[in-house]
């Protein structure tokens, strides 16, 4: 079923009007009177609606039923990825959204090649959020993950440490596997932290451990920076019963 995202305040009524990009999308889909669509607020609430009128620049809808989205994961997973070159972070945002991530947080670390300044970061965040919104619509989600940045590596650690399970992936770790880390008990929130192209510096690994994150490995092979977070996210979703 076709899905549209609107502002939360737009769902507080019995009738809705799609305008702007939503109306253009509806026109491309050639929606007709009587067809049903889902309208979501991006925060987990959705309405089943019937098209009542198709006009130039807007589509009128009648709300039939309102419910909590049934497509969201029971566990909230925060993906922390160090700034990466090119479009690698964009790829992770899109795929992590499809896989069910609750939020995606980008942060700087010692070996980051990409270090966007404040001006460029503002534009990137706008683009990244649009990518998340598009992926959420395409994959049938009821929540649009927030794409955020933090100003420092320390700030990323402090934020990630608040989850029930906080995992830090390091290619030189040998003792603790992801499977072992997830077997320690039940959880509702998870943070996954992965590094840039050059990996984490040893001192950064020590800081992560001191902050309470569990340092673990994703296996014998070294994964690319855009592969590691998606691999870890998929494993958590499997472990929590989503697959």
What is the reported pLDDT for 141? Answer: 92
Residues 123 and 229 both lie in one domain: yes
Residues 102 and 222 both lie in one domain: yes
What total of structural domains would you count in the chain? 2
What is the reported pLDDT for 127? Answer: 96
Q: What is the CATH number of the domain that holds 37?
A: 2.40.240.20
pLDDT digits (tens, 9 = 90+) for 144-179: 999 999 999 999 999 999 999 999 999 999 999 999
Residues 33 and 101 both lie in one domain: no
What is the reported pLDDT for 42? Answer: 87
E strand or H helix at 63: strand 58-68
Q: What is the CATH number of the domain that holds 231?
A: 3.40.1280.10
Residues 29 and 89 both lie in one domain: no
Measured distance CA(105)–CA(159) in Å, rounded = 10
Q: How far is CA 103 from CA 28, 72, 96, in A?
A: 30, 12, 9
What is the reported pLDDT for 204? Answer: 98
DSSP lists the bridge partners of residue 167 as 192, 214
Residues 177 and 104 both lie in one domain: yes
Residues 140 and 108 both lie in one domain: yes
- Give the residue numbers spanning the domain of 14: 3-68
What is the reported pLDDT for 54? Answer: 87
Residues 84 and 48 both lie in one domain: no
The residues, ordered by sequence, that sit 6+ positions from 203 with a Cβ below 8 Å of its Cβ are: 110
Residues 122 and 228 both lie in one domain: yes
Please tell me the pTM assigned to this model: 0.88
pLDDT under 70 in the chain at which residues? none
Long-range contacts, stretch 64-67, CB < 8 angstroms, 24+ apart? 64/36, 66/11
């Amino acid at each position: 079923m076709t899905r549209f995202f609107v502002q939360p305040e737009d769902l507080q009524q019995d009738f809705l009007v799609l305008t702007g990009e939503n109306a253009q999308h509806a026109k491309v889909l050639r929606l007709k009177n009587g067809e049903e669509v889902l309208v979501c607020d991006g925060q987990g609430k959705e309405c089943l609606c019937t098209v009542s009128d198709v006009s130039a620049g807007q589509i009128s809808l009648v709300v039939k039923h309102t419910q909590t989205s049934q497509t969201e994961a029971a566990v909230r997973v925060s993906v922390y990825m160090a700034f990466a070159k090119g479009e690698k972070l964009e790829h992770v945002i899109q795929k992590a959204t499809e896989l069910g991530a609750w939020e995606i947080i980008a942060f700087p670390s010692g070996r980051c090649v990409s270090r966007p300044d404040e001006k460029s970061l503002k534009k990137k965040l706008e683009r990244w959020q649009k990518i998340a919104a598009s992926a959420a619509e395409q994959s049938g989600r009821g929540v649009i993950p927030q794409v955020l940045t933090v100003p420092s590596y320390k700030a990323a650690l402090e934020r990630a440490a608040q989850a029930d399970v906080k995992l830090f992936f390091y290619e030189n770790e040998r003792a603790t596997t992801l499977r072992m880390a997830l077997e320690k008990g039940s959880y509702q929130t998870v943070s996954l932290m992965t590094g840039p192209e050059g990996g984490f510096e040893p001192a950064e690994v020590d800081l992560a451990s001191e902050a309470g994150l569990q340092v673990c490995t994703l296996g014998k092979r070294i994964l690319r920076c855009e592969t590691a977070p998606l691999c870890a996210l998929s494993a958590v979703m499997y472990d929590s019963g989503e697959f």
